[in-house]
Chain A
Amino acid sequence: MQRRILLSGLIAAALSAVAACSDETPTLSGDEAFPPGTTPVTREVLVPASQFLRVLGTYSGYTDASDAPFVEIAENYEGLYAHALTRFNGFPTSVTYRGANGQRTDSTFTYLASNLVARFDTLASTRERVTLSVYAAAESWDPGSATWELRADTNGVRTPWREPGGTRGALLAQAVRSPGGPDSVVFSIPAAAVRALSDSLSPGVIITSTAPGSRLRLTGLQLRAAVRPDSAAARDTTITTTVNSGAKAGLFTPDQPNPPAGAFAVGGIRSARTLLEVNTRQQVPACASGATCGTVPLSQVELNSVALVLRAVDVPNGFDLLGTVPLRLRRVSEPELGRFAPLGAVVSEEPAARFNGADSTVAVSITALSFASAVNADLPTAFALVSEGFGNAPSSFGVSFFRSDPLLRIVYTIRARRTLP
Chain B
Amino acid sequence: MSRFHLGGAALLAAALSAAPAGAQSLLSSAGLGYLLDPIDARSRGMGYVALGLPEPSLSLVNVADAAGLPAAGLTITLQTDVLQGKPAGGSDGLDFNTTRFPAIEAAFPAGPRAVVTVGYGAVLDQNWSAVREDSVMISGKNRFAQDRFLSRGAVSRFRAGLAYHVRPRLDVGVGVDVYTGAVNDSVSRVFPNEIGVLFPSATGTQYEWQGLGFTAGARYRAPAFTVSAAVTAAGDLTAAPKDSVGTERSYALPLTVDGGASAQISQATRLAASVRWSGWSAAGENFVTADQARDVMQAGGGIEYSGLRFLNRPLPVRLGARWAQLPFRYGTGEFADERALTAGLGVVIGGGQATLNLSGERGMRGGDAAGIDESFWRVAFSLSLLGR
A contact set with B: CB distance below 8 Å: 3-4, 6-7, 10-11, 14-15, 17-18, 21-36, 38-40, 42, 44, 302-305, 365, 367, 409, 411-413, 415-421
Contact = CB atoms under 8 A, between A and B. Distances in A.
A22 to B, nearest CB: 7
Contacts of A413: 189, 201, 203
Interface in B135-150: 136-139, 145, 147, 149-150
B98 A14 contact: no
4 cross-chain pairs, A with B, having the tightest CB-CB distances, nearest first? A23-B22, A302-B201, A21-B99, A33-B130
A6 B349 CA distance: 8
Contacts of B90: 29
B288 A419 contact: yes
A13 B319 CA distance: 24
B139 A44 contact: yes
Contact of B96 (A25, A42, A367): A25
B7 A38 contact: no
Contacts of A11: 7, 10-11, 383
Nearest to B197: A305
A315 B243 CA distance: 53
Contacts of B166: none
Contact of B130 (A27, A409, A420): A27
B201 A304 contact: yes
Contacts of A42: 136, 138, 145, 189, 201
Nearest to B188: A40
Contact of A418 (B26, B205, B289): B205
A38 B149 contact: yes
B199 A367 contact: yes
24 contacts: A7-B7, A7-B349, A14-B11, A17-B99, A18-B15, A23-B97, A23-B98, A23-B127, A25-B150, A26-B83, A27-B129, A33-B29, A33-B149, A34-B130, A34-B132, A40-B147, A40-B189, A42-B201, A44-B138, A304-B200, A305-B197, A367-B199, A413-B189, A417-B187
Contact of A7 (B3, B98, B202, B381): B3
Given A28-B29, A419-B288, A421-B31, A302 B130 contact: no
A419 B131 CA distance: 18
B154 interface: no
Contacts of B48: none
Consensus secondary structure, chain B interface: strand
A3 to B, nearest CB: 5
Contacts of A365: 197
B97 A415 contact: no
A44 B139 CA distance: 8
A411 to B, nearest CB: 6
Contacts of A40: 134, 145, 147, 187-189, 201
B181 to A, nearest CB: 13
B246 A417 contact: yes
B78 to A, nearest CB: 6
A324 B25 CA distance: 54
B94 interface: yes
A197 B288 CA distance: 91
Given A35-B29, A305-B197, A416-B203, 7 more contacts: A14-B383, A25-B127, A25-B152, A29-B131, A30-B132, A417-B246, A420-B239
Interface stretch (B107-115, B170-178, B350-358): B350-358
B292 interface: yes
Looking at B132, B202, B356, B381, the one whose CB has the most chain A CB atoms below 10 A away is B132
Nearest to A413: B201
B10 A28 contact: no
Contacts of B289: 421
A57 to B, nearest CB: 30
Contacts of A7: 3, 7, 349-350, 354
A238 to B, nearest CB: 53
Interface string B26-50: 1011011000000000000000000
A78 B148 CA distance: 55
B51 to A, nearest CB: 25
B191 interface: yes
Given A27-B131, A33-B29, A10 B383 contact: yes
A185 B72 CA distance: 93
B369 interface: no
Contact of A421 (B32, B95, B127): B32
B130 A28 contact: yes
Contacts of B152: 25
B17 to A, nearest CB: 8
Nearest to B311: A6
B85 interface: yes
A25 B207 contact: no
Contacts of B189: 40, 42, 302, 304, 413
Given A418-B151, A421-B32, A24 B22 contact: yes
Interface string B229-252: 000000000010000011001000
Nearest to B138: A44
A14 B129 CA distance: 29
Given A14-B78, A421-B292, A26 B203 contact: no
Contacts of A26: 22-23, 25-26, 28, 83, 85, 94, 96, 127-129
Interface in B329-349: 331, 349
Contacts of A417: 185, 187, 203, 205, 245-246
Contacts of A36: 288
Nearest to A37: B187
A304 B201 CA distance: 6
Contacts of A39: 132, 147
A29 B86 CA distance: 10
B145 A18 contact: no
B198 interface: yes
A24 B98 contact: yes
Given A25-B96, A303-B201, A420 B207 contact: yes
Contacts of B383: 10-11, 14
B224 interface: no
B19 interface: yes
Contact of B199 (A6, A31, A35, A304): A304
Contacts of A411: 138, 198
A228 B353 CA distance: 102
B102 to A, nearest CB: 13
B56 interface: no
A361 to B, nearest CB: 9
B375 to A, nearest CB: 13
B89 to A, nearest CB: 9
B21 interface: yes
B27 to A, nearest CB: 9
